[in-house]
Amino acid sequence: QVQLVESGGGLVQAGGSLRLSCAASGRTFRNYVMGWFRQAPGKEREFVGAIPWSGGRTYYADSVKGRFTISRDNAKNTVDLQMSSLKPEDTAVYYCAARTIATMQYEHWGQGTQVTVSS
């Protein structure tokens, strides 16, 4: 059974940095795309970025491009989200998710980790 567990959330001041990590287990993720999403209070969940597990281009939402970086560590089976130049509007619960390359629907989700950026 696929398990995704996020960690690294917390409180940070505007302009600061934070690194989230997603530990993936339960299967081989070679044919998967790993994504990060976020949901702010009262708003819909939105796409942050994604990376193919086997390598290749990463994708980012315009709102985070140039500030956030997604990377993966195959040895540790983790996917990280490095967030820099954080803004109060980045405050949200951040979720790690996984889908197969063949589908567009993310099938597996973590429980989420809270990120709060103070002004």
pLDDT score of 55: 81
Q: How much helix, strand and coil, in percent to the nearest 5, is found in the chain?
A: 5, 55, 45
The residues near 43 (Cβ < 8 Å, ≥ 6 apart) are 92
- 3-class SS at 27? coil
- pLDDT above 70 covers a percentage of the chain that reads 100
pLDDT score of 119: 93
Contact 45, 39 (CB under 8 A): yes
pLDDT 10s digits, 1-59? 899 999 999 999 999 999 999 999 998 888 999 999 999 999 999 999 999 998 889 99
Q: Is it the case that residue 75 has pLDDT exceeding 90?
A: no
> At residue 29, what is the residue type?
F
pLDDT 10s digits, 101-112? 999 899 999 999
pLDDT score of 33: 96
Angle at 2 between CA 110 and CA 46, to 5 degrees: 30
The average pLDDT across 53-75 equals: 94
Q: How confident is the model at residue 67 (pLDDT cuts 50, 70, 90)?
A: very high
